[in-house]
Amino acid sequence: MKKVIIVGAGLAGSYMAYAMGKKGYEVQVFEKRPDPRKSSYGSGRSINLVVSHRGWTALAYAGIEEEIRKIVVPAYGRQIHDLEGNESYFAYNIDNKAIHSISRGEFNKTLVELAEALPNVNITFNSFCEHVDFNKGTVHMKQGEQLNAYSADLIVGGDGANSSVRNALMKQPRFNYSQDFIDSGYKEVHIPADQNGAPQLNIDALHIWPRREFMLMGLANTDNGFTGTVFAPFDGEYGLDHLNTGADGMRYFEKYFKDAIPLIPDLEEQWENNPTSALVCIRCNPYHWGANTMLIGDAAHATVPFYGEGMNGSLEDVRVFLELLDEHGDSDMKKVLEIYTEQRVPAGNALVDLSLRNFIEMRDLVADPSFQLRKKIERKVQANHPDKWTPLYTLVKFTNIPYHEAKAEGERHDRIMEEILAMDGVEENWDSEEVEQEVLRLFESVR
Number of residues engaging its own copies in binding (CB under 8 A): 16
Minimum CB–partner distance for residue 162 and its own copies (Å): 7
Question: For its own copies, which is the closer residue by CB, 135 or 195?
Answer: 135
The single residue among 40, 88, 151, 176 that binds its own copies, judged by CB under 8 A, is: 176
Compute, in degrees rounded to 10, the torsion defined by CA atoms 330, 19, 125, 152: -10
The single residue among 173, 237, 327, 422 that binds its own copies, judged by CB under 8 A, is: 173
Minimum CB–partner distance for residue 21 and its own copies (Å): 33
Minimum CB–partner distance for residue 253 and its own copies (Å): 24
List the interface residues with its own copies, window 217-276 (CB under 8 A).
234
Bridge partners (DSSP) listed for residue 184:
233
Minimum CB–partner distance for residue 185 and its own copies (Å): 8
CA distances from 425 to 93, 360, 381 (A): 27, 26, 18
Minimum CB–partner distance for residue 278 and its own copies (Å): 4
- Of the candidate spans 13-21, 174-182, 334-342, 369-377, the one that interacts with its own copies by CB under 8 A turns out to be 174-182
The single residue among 37, 40, 89, 177 that binds its own copies, judged by CB under 8 A, is: 177
The single residue among 40, 85, 181, 384 that binds its own copies, judged by CB under 8 A, is: 181
The angle subtended at Cα 385 by Cα 381 and Cα 390, nearest 5°, is: 75
- Of the candidate spans 24-32, 124-132, 168-176, 374-382, the one that interacts with its own copies by CB under 8 A turns out to be 168-176
List the interface residues with its own copies, window 270-289 (CB under 8 A).
277-278, 280
147 binds its own copies (CB under 8 A): no
175 binds its own copies (CB under 8 A): yes
171 binds its own copies (CB under 8 A): yes
Using CA of residue 407, residue 412, residue 415, residue 418, what is the dihedral sign? negative
CA distances from 255 to 55, 248, 252, 259 (A): 38, 11, 5, 10
Minimum CB–partner distance for residue 234 and its own copies (Å): 8
CA 304 – CA 356 distance, rounded (Å) = 7
The single residue among 170, 247, 261, 383 that binds its own copies, judged by CB under 8 A, is: 170
Under the rule (CB under 8 A), what is the footprint of its own copies?
Answer: 162, 170-171, 173-181, 234, 277-278, 280
